[in-house]
Structure formats: structure tokens, C-alpha cells
Amino acid sequence: MTKSRLDFVDLMRGIAMLVMIEVHVVNSLMDMTLRNTSWFGFINFANGLVAPSFIFISGFAFVLASQKKLPEYRKFRYAFWKQLGRIGLIWFTGYMLHIPYFSLQKCIHIATERHWLKFQSIDVLQCIAFGLFIIFILRLVIKKDRIFITLVSALGISSVAFAPYAYNADLSHLPVFVATYIAPVHYTLFPIFPWFGFMAAGIWCAWIFTRYNSAGKSYIFFKRLLIVGILMALISLPLMFYIKDYLGLFNDVRPNALFFIARLGFVTALLSLCFYYCQWRGEPSAIILYPSRESLAVYFIHLQILHRELWKGKSLVDIYPNTLSFWICIVITIAMILAILPMARIWNYWKSKYEYFGLIAVWTMIFIGGIIFLLR
């Protein structure tokens, strides 16, 4: 496999990105009473695989992208600053999506304590950025691959094993911006316990994959990964619900290790299927490829369309607050994807054609946005 970009990584991330748009549209606009229907339970479970897929593939892609750049990283050359800037941009974007108002005056005079608690909450972007930052530092410091992988694996296992304790711990003595990284408090959805485990699993899988790939045995790797993933899901998922529903040993499945194993099984199986699909059909279609390669921009734009005041001081969420049918939400999702796709394609084209275009454009937008934020 000699391509600089691995198509199956783009495919999996693109699928996760498109489904994430559907998740946010459904969660924001669909009639809440429909959540109690049996058919939506299956959709909700599938939607729940999006965040684990994103976090997993972030770790997987980091290993593949950083293999040849480690000497530059350790000498603090351009690649080092570019990677650090990318992590910083993910982190910055995550927090900016939670800012109460795009106006300094409103943030000072109108924003409430609830707004600022939500601003400090941890969503999937902050979780990914935090994880990548830790991995990046470890990769710089630790030169031996086996020690690096062993340490990352230990951290990943620890984040899963200690999740039940983190979820039940009294964190009131900690600053809010610290507590939100530990447990789902103050509107946090993705603390590092147990979610960092998915990134660690992605890194471990990528490390094993590179060894199979260098020996020309990619097919064997993904065959084994597919089998292991299916077994993980088939064994842990029924066991998890049996323990929860029949034995009543726990109420919240998220911090439970079986929750992690089940979803990791589905995620690894999906990655394997993406690999086999790309071997069969080649590069993914544009509707998946560009949202994948420009996933951060697509993530930011679709949430702006949903939640920002775009029409007479109201957002889509304000106009249709959990009142629509599921199929209307799907129509809105498709329309949103079709509207964002050309933007993602143009952005990718200019970034590919001019090396520094993305860097200059991002900093220009941050500067202009900062001026507008200060003056509004």
C-alpha cells in the first residue's frame, strides 16, 4: 500500500462525519417523543458509534501520518509546529463552538453561569485534542516504539478501568475546567475516562497495521481485525445488557468496560470493512472524501448552521425545537451535506494547490473573527 493517503481511513472518517451531521440534526430538531419508539433505539445505537469512530480514527491516523515526520518533530522543525498548530486549532474550535455569544459585550453582560459552565464542558473535539496532545508529547519524548505503544496502551486501559470511579467521584473541589476532563459534569459529554481508550486502541491498531503492511500482509491484518471486532461486539454487548437489565449491577453503561469493548468491536469491524471496500472500489466518492479530509471545517460549519442566529435572530434550533419527524430531519441532513460539500471541496483544492493557503486563511479568519467579536 503506497498511497500517501490511505483511502480506507478517509472512508471511515467521512462516514463518521456524515452520520455525525445526522446525529446533531436529529438530537436538535426531532420530536422527543419519537425517542421512545423501538425503531429509533436501533438508530440511536448506530448513532452512538460516531464519537468512538472519530476518536479511534484520530489515533490511527496520527500514527500513520507521523511515521516519517518523527525526526522533524524532535528537531522542532516546520512539521512539529504544523502538528502542534493542528492540535491547537482542534482545541480552539471545540471551545469556540461553546462560546455563549459571538460578542464580547453580550458575553460580559448577558451570559449566565450556566453559559460559562457549558463553555468549559468537553465535547468530542476537546477530547480528541487533549488525547492527541498527550500522544504527541509522548511520541517526542519516547524514542523506542515498543515503550511508546506499551505506555499508550497502559494509559488507554487505565482510562477505561478507572472510568466507573471517575464518574462517581466527588469533583466539586476541582476547578470546573479540570473536572470536565475527568467525568461528565457541567454538560460534558466526552471526558477522557473512558473515551481516551478509543484513541489508544486506534494507536495500537495502527502500530500493528504498519508491521503487517510493511510485510505485504494488510489483508491478513484486517481479516483478523474484522473477526476480533465481531467477536468483541457479539460477546460483550449481550453480556452488558444482561448485567444491566437482569442483574441490575449498574445503571449507566458508559463508564462500564463492556460498553467500551462492545463499541470498539463495532468500530474495528467498520474499519476493516472500509479497507476491503477501498480495495474493491478504490478512492471513496467525493461526498465522503471531502467531508473526511476537511472534517474540522465541516464539523464547525454544520453546527453554525444549526445553532447560530441565521434568520431574524433565530437559529434552526430556535425555529424547530425538537418538533420535526425523523424523516424531515433526514431531508435537512441531506440538504446540509449538499450545501457544505462544495465548500469543503473548494477549501481542499486551495489547500492542496498552495502549501500555506490553509495556514494563512485560518489565521486570517481567526483575526477577522476576533475583531468582530470585540466590536459587536
Amino acid letter, 189 = L
- Residues spanned by the domain of 126: 7-375
Residues 45-90: tens digit of each pLDDT? 888 899 999 999 999 999 998 888 888 888 888 889 989 999 999 9
Asked if residue 40 belongs to a domain, the reply is yes
133 or 358, which is more confident: 133
The fraction of the chain above a pLDDT of 70, given in percent, is 94
> What DSSP string describes 34-84?
GGGSHHHHHHHHHHTTHHHHHHHHHHHHHHHHHGGGHHHHHTT-HHHHHHH
Asked if residue 1 belongs to a domain, the reply is no
Residue where the block lists cell 436529529: 26
Examine the pLDDT at 283 and tell me if it is beyond 50. Answer: yes
Examine the pLDDT at 368 and tell me if it is beyond 60. Answer: yes
| Helix (H) or strand (E) segment spanning residue 41 | helix 38-47
Q: Is the peptide bond before 194 cis (omega within 30 degrees of 0)?
A: yes
2 confidence band (pLDDT: 50, 70, 90): very low
Report the C-alpha gap between 297 and 93 in whole angstroms.
Answer: 9
Report how many domains make up the chain: 1
**Quick one: 40 exposed, middle or buried, by C-beta within 10 A (0-12, 13-18, 19+)?**
middle
> What pLDDT, on a 0 to 100 scale, did the predictor assign at position 4?
42
Taking all residues of the chain, what is their mean pLDDT, rounded to a whole number? 88
Asked if residue 46 belongs to a domain, the reply is yes
Residue where the block lists cell 492542496: 352
- Please give the average per-residue pLDDT across 291-305, as a whole number: 90
Residues 152-193: tens digit of each pLDDT? 999 999 999 999 899 888 898 999 999 999 999 888 999 999
Asked if residue 65 belongs to a domain, the reply is yes
Examine the pLDDT at 34 and tell me if it is beyond 60. Answer: yes
Asked if residue 19 belongs to a domain, the reply is yes
129 confidence band (pLDDT: 50, 70, 90): very high
Asked if residue 168 belongs to a domain, the reply is yes
> What pLDDT, on a 0 to 100 scale, did the predictor assign at position 265?
95
Asked if residue 2 belongs to a domain, the reply is no
Residue where the block lists cell 440538504: 335
